[in-house]
Each structure stands twice: as structure tokens, then as C-alpha cells.
Amino acid sequence: MEEIERMLDAAMTGSFSETSFDESQLSALETKFAHYLSAAEASSQNIAQEKDKIKTLIADISHQTKTPIANLLLYSELLMEETMPASAKANVEALYKQSEKLRFLIDSLVKLSRLENGIISLSPQQAALQPLLESVVEQYTAKASEKGLSLQMQDTDAFAVFDFKWSAEALANIVDNAIKYTEHGTITISAISYEMFARIDISDTGSGIPENEQAKIFARFYRSNSVQKQEGVGIGLYLARQIISGEGGYIKVASVPGKGSTFSIFLPK
């Protein structure tokens, strides 16, 4: 038992080596246990190597696509300033929109891959929620106004444990969806504090989500048949859930078709 305890101690500190144990002095059980720990150590090293390969691949994809897409957007903007037939201008505008969509998709996929493979580590810290909500409202007020919507925020003194940058990303994805699927009315962001957690609500007066689809909307690339005409790739809510889950929280949705939806984000305190 002492030998096995020494093996476990070595494995937990990452210093286990099968060569450091003499099989002649070990029982059959201890020998098998030593082989098992050795295999586990090798597997752990292989996983680390594969993660490094994925990290390099993601970095390459991000780097190799950033400049071409930026050039497409730039040249499209320059062309739109030129005098040209209406049909040609419409084609250039379509090119610009598709380039924007491609940039968003690649950026989202890169973020997802980094999160899912542990390349990006979240750093949750206890902080006030007010600055977080204000940053999202500031980011989307103009977009909401362009559509004739009112984006409102209720002041809060709630605190929670979260990563500011990534939580802002999660909230932004939900607010962006709310604007996209709301034709008129108001989008409201609020937060309330409970004993063990804080809850952020993002409510809209949009089209709502059928009950049989409410569990599906957080799946990667899922898009309801009722919103196929809207721009989108079905990745924003999935990314939001991944971020909030990584912070030890979760997301719920309550919705009535034709009356709107409320997305509730629960964060630990």
C-alpha cells in the first residue's frame, strides 16, 4: 500500500515515471497499477500535444483570414462611394454584407474553438453588474434606435462572480438577437440579487419562441424555420451559453409567441 500511495503522490504532482519503480519489488497488483498510471500519463501528454496543435491551427486560421476579409470590406466600401448603375451598387452592397457575415462567422467559430478546447481560460471575479450592463447598452443603443426600438436598462446594485469581457460577449449576443427579432417596442436589461446568485434579465417585445423550440435555440447552428429570412448563423446563443456555463452559471428562456421573450442569466455570487 505504501508503494501505491507513493505512485499516486507522484502521479498527482506530475512526476510519475514507471522506470522509477522496481517491478521485482512490487506485487502483481502494484505492477498493474504502475502500468496504468504510466498509460494515463502518456495519454495526458498526448492530449496536451493535440491541444497545442489545435491552438496553432486556430491561430493560423484567424491570421490567414483576417486580412483578406478586411480587404473585401474595404474595397466594397470604396466601390459603394463610386457612381455606378443601381444593379451594380446592389451587388457591391450584397458583397459587403456577405463579407461582414463571413467575418462574424469566423470570429465566432474561433472564439468557440478556443473556449471548447480550453485555450481561453475565463477569469471570473466578483464585481458589480452595473458597469457590465452599461457597456452592453452603450454598444447596442444606436443599432436599436436605427430599427426604431428602445433599449432600456434598469439600475442595479447587484454583484456577481464573472469575467467582464466574456460576460459582455454573452450579453451582447443575446441583445443582438433581441434587436434582430423585435420589430417594435422595447428591449429591457435588468439585474436582481439573490442570496446565492444574481440574475440578469434581457426582455424583448419580439416575435417570441415556440415552447417546443426553446430548448433547441442554444444548440450550435440551430435556426428556427420561422426566422430563416433573418440574417444570422445560429451561433450567438450557443456561444453565450458556453461562456456563462464556464463561469459557473446558466441561462434560461421564458417566451410567449407573439408577445416576446425573456432570457435570464444566473451568475454565482
Q: What is the mean pLDDT of residues 155-166?
A: 95
Residues 94 and 227 in one domain: no
Find the range with the poorest average confidence among 135-144, 199-208, 230-239.
230-239
- Residues spanned by the domain of 37: 1-121
What is the pLDDT at residue 11? Answer: 56
Q: What is the mean pLDDT of residues 63-74?
A: 83
Question: What span, in angstroms and rounded, lies between the C-alpha atoms of 207 and 202?
Answer: 15
In this structure, what CATH number is given to the domain that contains residue 133? Answer: 3.30.565.10
Residues 116 and 129 in one domain: no
Domain count, the chain: 2
Residues 71 and 146 in one domain: no
DSSP 91-153: HHHHHHHHHHHHHHHHHHHHHHHHHHTTSS----EEEESHHHHHHHHHHHHHHHHHTT-EEEE
- 204: nearest Cα among 237, 227, 181: 181
pTM above threshold 0.75: no
Residues 134 and 183 in one domain: yes
In this structure, what CATH number is given to the domain that contains residue 15? Answer: 1.10.287
Of 72, 95, 121, the residue that ends a domain is: 121
Q: In terms of C-beta density within 10 A (0-12 exposed, 13-18 middle, 19 or more buried), how is residue 149 classed? A: buried
The C-alpha angle with vertex 125 and arms to 265 and 187, in degrees rounded to 5, equals 30
pLDDT band at 67 (very low <50, low <70, confident <90, very high): confident
Residues 208 and 161 in one domain: yes
Of 121, 156, 189, the residue that ends a domain is: 121
Residue type, 68: P
Residues 99 and 198 in one domain: no
Residues 77 and 164 in one domain: no
Residues 15 and 93 in one domain: yes
Residues 80 and 132 in one domain: no
pLDDT in tens, 79-133: 888 888 888 888 888 888 888 888 877 887 777 777 766 667 789 999 999 999 9
Residues 27 and 100 in one domain: yes
Residues 154 and 257 in one domain: yes
> Above 60 in pLDDT, residue 7?
no
Instruction: Give 110 or 39, the one with higher predicted confidence.
Output: 110
- SS3 of residue 202 by DSSP: strand
Q: Hey, how many other C-beta atoms are within 10 angstroms of the C-beta on 193?
A: 15
Residues 96 and 207 in one domain: no
Of 121, 145, 168, the residue that ends a domain is: 121
